[in-house]
Amino acid sequence: MSNKKSFKPENKLMVFPKEQLFRYLRSGKFQALSENWKHEVLPLEFDYELIVVTEGTLYLRYMDEDFTVMTGEYLILPPSDSVRKGLKKAYCSFYWLHFTVDLGHIPARIRPGEQITYERAGCFMIPQAAAVPSPQRMIVKMKQLQDMERNNYPDISLNAEITALITELYGQLSIELPTDTDSIGNKQIYSDITDYIRRNISKNLKTTDIADAFGYSPKYLSHLFSEVRGISLKQFITSTKIETASFYLTDSDRTITEIASEVGFSDMHNFSRTFKRVTGLTPSAYRNTYSKRLLYHI
């Protein structure tokens, strides 16, 4: 597994209840106006905050700890009487959202090695900071949540959506992290394949291309990938391309033709047909539905 996906031993774990709807508070997108921006001194008090960085690097200090969050990484801050403040100036852009969770007597953060006790208490754990395995998928969901708020969805819908978003992150990390039943070699090959696909997303990738690049037979790689991920290698290639296209459609001014090319489709008809099959919407309908976002320059 690549270093970017590995969690540092000192990285604390956030604790969340399995059988509870979280409470949505607010969300938005922040974009610095220049490289001279530094995060203001702001309290958090009773809220949790999830931050997903899409550009640049966020330097933040909170609860006497320093965090450096790079593009494609997330950070979760628990409630406390501390304040969050910038460490140094840098350009960055990120999506953020605030929510609350009722944990009762259970702590919001624990150290690695303590999770068994809280798993027995009906909780699941997420590392406080790490790379997002599928950042485009997370961003699309965060934008959908903002769109729901703008359109005055009821609280129960917003609460269900924020719960789904946090468990989506948990699901992504659970897939990417090692399990006892997978061999170390298979996990490494799987990780290398997913990295290769994301790096070469603009190419018309085929299973045979990837097999040639890694020196294995297409049949072997497809079987290995299905065992580790639960879907075929071909399905993963397609889903990764559509997730990337979804992100571009709602977070950029690129034309649909440009987006199709950037995710490896030379035929617009094939791109539109594949996009609609996966998402249920045409690229233009998807953009019109989910392009709204809350943008803050603070």
Instruction: Please check whether residues 191 and 222 belong to one and the same domain.
Output: yes
Query: Is 142 in the same domain as 272?
Result: no
294-297, Cβ contacts within 8 angstroms, sequence gap of 24 or more = 294/27, 294/28, 294/29, 294/146, 294/149, 294/150, 295/28, 295/29, 295/30, 295/31, 296/28, 296/29, 296/30, 296/31, 297/30, 297/31, 297/32, 297/33
| Domain housing 267 | 184-290
Asked, for residue 263, whether it belongs to a domain, the answer is yes
Burial (CB < 10 A; 0-12, 13-18, 19+), residue 112, is middle
Q: What is the DSSP secondary-structure string of 65-89?
A: EEEEEETTEEEEE--EEEEEEESS-
Supply the pLDDT for residue 292: 55
Shared domain for 166 and 253, answered yes or no, is no
Q: How many CB atoms lie within 10 A of CB 100?
A: 15
- Structural domain contains residue 296: no
Q: Are residues 20 and 134 in the same domain?
A: yes
**Distance separating alpha carbons of residues 182 and 235, to the nearest angstrom:** 21
Which among 106, 141, 176 is the end of a domain?
A: 176
Question: Does some domain include residue 298?
Answer: no
Q: Are residues 163 and 192 in the same domain?
A: no
Is there a domain that residue 212 lies in? yes
Give the per-residue pLDDT at 49: 97
Regarding whether 144 and 42 lie in a shared domain, the answer is yes
Domain boundary among 176, 208, 239: 176
Q: Does residue 272 share a domain with residue 227?
A: yes
> In this structure, are 147 and 204 located in the same domain?
no
At residue 10, the pLDDT reads 60
Residue 68 near residue 59, CB atoms below 8 Å: yes
Residues 6+ apart with CB under 8 A from 110: 12, 13, 15, 118, 125
Q: Is residue 74 part of a domain?
A: yes
Place of tokens 């995710």: 263
Angle between helices 233-251 and 283-290 (to 10 degrees): 50
Task: Please tell me whether the overall predicted TM-score, pTM, comes out greater than 0.75 for this model.
Answer: no
pLDDT digits (tens, 9 = 90+) for 130-158: 988 888 888 888 988 988 998 899 999 99
Name the nearest CA neighbour of 120 among 110, 128, 132, 129: 110
Where a domain ends, among 158, 176, 194? 176
The pLDDT of residue 295 is 46
Do residues 141 and 220 both lie within one domain?
A: no
User: For the chain, which residues score pLDDT lower than 70?
Assistant: 1-10, 176-187, 291-298
User: What pLDDT was estimated at residue 288?
Assistant: 84
Residue 164 Cα to chain centre, angstroms: 12
Give the residues across from 97 on adjacent strands: 27, 50
CATH of the domain at 141: 2.60.120.280
Please report whether residue 271 resides in a domain. Answer: yes
User: What's the confidence (pLDDT) of residue 222?
Assistant: 83
Number of domain units in the chain: 2
CATH number for the domain that contains residue 230 = 1.10.10.60
- Between CA 122 and CA 94 the distance in angstroms is 31
Q: Which of 53, 244, 24, 46 is nearest to 145 (CA)?
A: 24
- Quick one: 172 and 192 in the same domain? no
Shared domain check, 86 and 231 = no
Strand partners, 86: 60
Same-domain status, 45 and 67: yes
Q: Is residue 272 assigned to a domain?
A: yes
Instruction: Tell whether 103 is covered by a domain.
Output: yes
